[in-house]
Structure 1
């Protein structure tokens, strides 16, 4: 008996396309993002899911809603604990803009994000604690079944990194593209097995790994 979590990063937004940090900013899907969600929905259409969960931010909820349309418009439970990291005063800025305006803060963030609080935002440690706690409760509530969970890159990295026992200061090494699929089996919470990671084979056009490496 095992709970299998299908963890999905939301589809693309206009801010993703221009490499701007979103965090808690409530940016909707772009037209491309909605197409991506539909493509993933078709991929998962033949599976049976016991529950759908999503961040309460519109880009995640909209992605989950499009996928759920292939499952009799199944209800989606939204959880604010599944929100992306709060980037505070960095939200809406590109990495280059942040480096120009907050050079010391972003240097510290890249080196030790667990311990570094973003100006007006969160530390990674706070994000890991709230997101992993939320996902653990979901796993324990669905001991034998399939669950879709639509969230954000930082949330998925936090969960995957925890399952793998990573040093979370290195969590940026876990790539998460828009509308990607990750699968984790949980025979028990502390025995999670990563089955699939950052899979985008359902999308019509694959990004070039070099040209797209900067998108967050």
Structure 2
């Protein structure tokens, strides 16, 4: 199976209270809510029979907590990786969309028009540099684990960046890629340049009250 490739089980972290309030999180280190923990447990039950060689996660606690729950049945350590962090949202972190519209109307309009290269006020990176960071790091993981499957837990932005790269899609259209909390995606990589999306934003493991 996958003798010349690597299967990546790609997961967005469970819900946080800022997700519930629709606040931009970025690099702000917010923990899972109780609901987020239960979402991770439900996904853990789904993945418990899968053969997974290694578990990697963003070093932000919402992703780490999710990964630690998913790793338990496999008795694997979680390797914390800052390369898998969400986009740094600068002055927008902690704000709702309405607050951003009120405080940064011109900047928000420019960002939505061309997010790939438009810097968010106060941010240390653009969406393009985030995508390059994430895709470069996952390529390293793929080459390290050819012939096996790995679990990668991160955030909505990095998930979209990886999926867009696999589909050769313009990341300026990232908003077309819905990514819910505790969603499972599957990408199969065949180096040097072939990637296949086999599952996207699947939350069939969540009962209705957690979906």
Structure-1-length-normalised TM-score: 0.94
In the TM superposition, residue 69 of structure 1 has moved relative to its aligned partner by 1.0
- Counterparts of 1:56-71 in structure 2, within 5 Å, are 56-71=59-74
Q: What is the aligned residue count?
A: 207
Question: 2 CA distance for matches of 1:18 and 1:141?
Answer: 38
- Counterparts of 1:39-78 in structure 2, within 5 Å, are 39-72=42-75, 74-78=76-80
Matched, 1:186 2:189: yes
Question: 1 CA distance for matches of 2:192 and 2:55?
Answer: 19
Q: Which residue matches 1:213? A: none
Matched, 1:148 2:151: yes
Matched, 1:139 2:146: no
Alignment root-mean-square deviation, CA? 1.1
Q: Against the structure 1 CA distance between its residues 153 and 48, is the aligned structure 2 distance closer, same or farther, given a 3 Å change threshold?
A: same
| 1:81 equivalent among 57, 80, 83 | 83
Q: Which residue matches 2:171? A: 168
| Secondary structure in 2 matching 1:5 | strand
Matched, 1:97 2:99: yes
Question: Contact between 2:39 and 2:210, CA under 8 Å: does it hold in 1?
Answer: no
Question: 2 CA distance for matches of 1:136 and 1:130?
Answer: 10
Question: 1 CA distance for matches of 2:110 and 2:126?
Answer: 11
In the TM superposition, residue 48 of structure 1 has moved relative to its aligned partner by 1.3
| Secondary structure in 1 matching 2:193 | helix
Question: 2 CA distance for matches of 1:48 and 1:35?
Answer: 22
Q: Against the structure 1 CA distance between its residues 115 and 59, is the aligned structure 2 distance closer, same or farther, given a 3 Å change threshold?
A: same
Structure 2 alignment gaps of length 5 or more: none
Question: 2 CA distance for matches of 1:207 and 1:171?
Answer: 25
Matched, 1:25 2:33: no
In the TM superposition, residue 189 of structure 1 has moved relative to its aligned partner by 4.2
Question: 1 CA distance for matches of 2:138 and 2:129?
Answer: 14
Structure 1 stretches of 4+ with a deviation exceeding 3 A read none
In the TM superposition, residue 188 of structure 1 has moved relative to its aligned partner by 2.0
